[in-house]
Structures are given as structure tokens and as C-alpha cells.
Amino acid sequence: MNQNILRYSRFETISRAGSTDKAMFIIIEGKVEITLSDGNQEYKVATLHENDFFGEGSLFNDTPRTANAIAIEETKVFKITDKKKLDEFLHKNPNFATKMVSVLSKRLAATDELLMDKISEIKRLKRSLNI
């Protein structure tokens, strides 16, 4: 079997927030839940399915992972471990490259929206406190 194809059991952790490993994953089969933790509670931020990807930030940024990825059913993933291999994969799979740009753009827009909501919330709080 290809060493870049990995299998995970139900509820098995694929990657953990704070980890410094460098790998991106593409889901071949199964489902993966992406969660964030505030130290007290886990928050589900996404459920990913076949052909979705996660962990790409670890290939592009030199920072620890920010989220947990847990298989919520039997899951098979393709693991890409460095930028050169990602470039090769995207060159061989241009449709996936287009999808990746689209997904990342949507994720950024969603993050911008959350940020603007928080800024508005802070402004309202300041007004109510006459700050």
C-alpha cells in the first residue's frame, strides 16, 4: 500500500492542535471533524468529507497546528508531507488546485465575517459602557 495513504479508526485523532508536524491531508473515504479548544471545551468548526482537505497551513506556515482533526468514522486519507510534494500533486491534479483556491477563499471570507462580528460586538460594548 502507498505509504502516503493512511487509515484511521472511528474517533481516532489524525492531528492535534499544538502539533508541529508538517502535513496536509486529503480525505479519500470517510469523515473528519475539525475542532478548536479554548482549554475547557471543544468546539466543532467543520465536518469534512471525501475530497475535502485539511492541515494545509502546516505546509505553508512555520507555526503549530491550530485545530484538532478527528476521524468520526472509518477514514482513509492521502498525506502530503512537504511543499514540493504538494506542488507535484497540484500540477498533476489541476482541478484539485482550483478547488483548493476556492475553498481557501471561502474559509478566509468566513474568518473575515467572524472578525467583523467581533469588532461590532466590541464597539457595542464600548458604547454601552461609554468608553
pLDDT digits (tens, 9 = 90+) for 44-63: 999 999 999 999 988 888 78
Mean pLDDT over the full length of the chain = 93
Q: What is the pLDDT of residue 1?
A: 57
How many whole angstroms separate alpha carbon 69 and alpha carbon 67? 7
Tens-place pLDDT, residues 108-123: 999 999 999 999 999 9
> Is residue 16's pLDDT more than 70?
yes
pLDDT at 60: 85
Backbone angles phi, psi at 116, to 5 degrees: -65, -40
Question: What ranges in 53-93 are assigned the alpha helix state H?
Answer: 57-60, 83-92
Cα 104-85-52 angle, rounded to 5 deg: 35
Burial class of residue 48 in the structure, from the number of CB atoms within 10 Å of its CB (0-12 exposed, 13-18 middle, 19+ buried): buried
The pLDDT of residue 131 is above 90: no
